[in-house]
Every structure is written in C-alpha cells, then in structure tokens.
Amino acid sequence: MTRVLVGLSGGVDSSAVVELLREEGLEVTACVLTMQTAPVAVPTAEALERARALCAERGVPLVEVDVAERFAAAVVDPFVAEYACGRTPNPCVVCNAAVKFAALAAEADRLGCELVATGHYAGVERAAGGTPRVVRGADAGKDQSYFMYRLPPELVGRCRFPLGAQTKERTRAFARDRGLAAAEAPDSTGVCFAPGGDYHLTMAERAPELLNPGPIYAEDGTYLGEHRGIACYTLGQRKGLGLSGGPWFITRIDAAANALTVAQGTPPRARSFTLRMPVLWRAMPSEGLRCLAQTHYRAHPVSAQVTRAGDRLRVELEGAGTLAADGQSCVLYEGDAVIGGGFIALDNTCAGTDADRAPAGEKGQSV
C-alpha cells in the first residue's frame, strides 16, 4: 500500500485531503508543522485542536514537527529585511520551498512515506522529457501554483495535490458531507505570522523605524506630504497616500531616504526587469525563452521573452507591460505549467548586493 504524508494545518483544505486520500485507499500519516508559537501561533490553537481531533477520530497517525527556528530565519527575518530595503516580499513563496515542503519531505523520508500531499490548489504533470512540474489548479480564484515555483522537480515528483482539480466550494461540500469539523473554518487571510494577519503589527514590534513618517515627492521633486512609513507601501499603490488631486501612484520607494516618489495618472508599468535568485526548470534555448510571465499573485500573465543575464534572468514583456514591484516574484509559465521564476529587480532601482543570497534552507536551484 502506498504511504503518504499529509501536511495538516487543521483547515478545511488539508482536512479534506486527509479524508480524500484515506478513501482512496492510501496509508495516510498526518504532519502538523509548528511554524511559530508567539506572538501568534501558527497553526492557531483552534486549528491544531481540529487537526488532532480529526486524526484521533479517523485513526490516522499524527506527527508534530517544530520548525519555528527555521521559519523565523528563512521567512520572518527576511520579510522584515526586504521591507527595510524598500522591496515587497513574498513570504509564502519562500516558506513553501525553504520550510514547508522541505520539512514535509524530510519527515516523509524519516517515516518511509513515498508521497507528500497538501491542500494546495495546484496540480502536477510531467513534461515531455518526464520532468515533474507544478501546473495551475482548476479553480482560477484559488490557484496557488504561483507560490510553488521554487519547488525542485524531484520534490514536485513525489507531491500530491488532491484539490487541484476542484473548486473550493466543492471542497467545503465534501467536508460537510463527511462531517469534518473544519468544514466551516474560515480561510486564512493576511500574513499568517502577524497578529490578526496585519503585517504592520509585526513591523511595529520588530522594526518600528520602518513605520517612521517621511516625505512624499512628485517626480519633479515637489514635496507633497508625509507617508506613514515605507513598510506600509509598495510600488504602484494608490490607496492610503492621503494626497489630493490624484489619483497618485507610488513610482519609487527610497529606503535610505525614507521617501516615496509618486506620479499622477495611471499605475507605473514595467516592460523589462531582471530576476534575482532565478530558478528555471527547463532548458534555455540559445535565442532565449518565449513564455508567460506573472508578476504578482492576482496578475494576468503577459507574453515575455526571457534571456540569461549573468546569474540572473532578464524578462522583456510584450505590449504595455504590467505592474511589477521590487521583491515580488515573477513566475514563468508555459501554458498552465510553471517552468521557473525569480524575485523582481526593476531596472530603475537598486536591489542591493545582499539580496542575491538564496533563501535560508533552500537547496541549490537550476538556472
């Protein structure tokens, strides 16, 4: 019988996966990863209790693994550091590769489980050469493939995402039908490690200087007002500026000067940029790679030409470009299949040399 380790958070998605795989006839073991205990418990006490109760009711072995030290070093500390540099971080992208899936794979090895399963809305397919790769989930509103581009193919090849072919509504209906306690559990929102999901509260505790007010300038240098701290903003942002005569959009974040630059009209659109710490899970043709580029979670993918640029990748977008922010991930797709990506470094900003180190806990990647 095939043995599978399920990453169980106590939410409806991972709880449904435990039940689905049991009904499929697999030998299921569940694993709760303790990411953080204070100031916010991840998972929450309520979610942990649901996870324990589900496993006790179903007779599923449960292991609990403390990864708090790794989570702090690989996710929380870099999250704060990125905002200090004027960038917009991607904590879920880093967590998936450096903490969550890495820890699940290691625990699966220890327990002798061939497969790892989670409640992500994504899928797995094999390319023509047999290389496993992540593909978009069927529910466009819940698709999480964007956050998984840094997972290496050898790990993807042993992953199961049972919810990838269905909608969130169907998952909740299944959970209700099976009497799962998590059936009505709310979806997690915001930053999981921050109080109430509000990352500003994390900044207030760990880096209060990032919430110091500073000047807002027009692109011609005219002083327009004060902002609430650079950690409150990202490139292209319009809301929360408190300026009249708009709409105004942020076009530059100067962390060293604690200043914002804004422009009227439409959001800034990037047509080219490089990718720091890139991964590419297919061969790069000599003339470059034609693919789709998605510059943030809810963005529409844009046709792009990708070429090598030293230890980075250069992305040239077709048409008018798209909204892009330093530090966010640009994920590369062939159709619905993830083939790579990296952290955006815009051409008119300085990313800082320290930013090119691979996230803590991430194994060597392919470019």
- Report the alpha-carbon distance of residue 50 to residue 11 in Å, rounded: 8
- Report the alpha-carbon distance of residue 135 to residue 145 in Å, rounded: 6
> Which residues have a Cβ under 8 Å from the Cβ of 200 and sit 6 or more positions away?
194, 211, 231, 232
Q: Catalytic: 95?
A: yes
Q: Catalytic: 192?
A: yes
* Catalytic hit among 92, 113, 159, 192: 192
> Which residues have a Cβ under 8 Å from the Cβ of 289 and sit 6 or more positions away?
280, 282, 305, 306, 307, 332
Q: Could you tell me which of 77, 80, 76, 70 has the C-alpha nearest to residue 33?
A: 70
Cα distance between the two ends of the chain: 37
Mutual orientation of helices 12-24 and 168-177 as an angle, nearest 10°? 70
In b/e form, how buried is each residue of 258-272, taking b as 16+ CB within 10 angstroms?
bbbbbbeeeebebbe
Q: Could you tell me which of 171, 118, 163 has the C-alpha nearest to residue 138?
A: 163
The DSSP result for 308-354, as a single string, is: EETTEEEEEESTT-B---TTSEEEEEETTEEEEEEEEEETTS---GG
Dihedral sign for Cα atoms in the order 356, 205, 186, 25 = positive
* Catalytic hit among 95, 113, 159, 291: 95
323: left (phi over 0), alpha (psi -120 to 50) or beta: beta
Neighbours of 358 (CB within 10 A): 16
Positions marked active-site: 95, 192
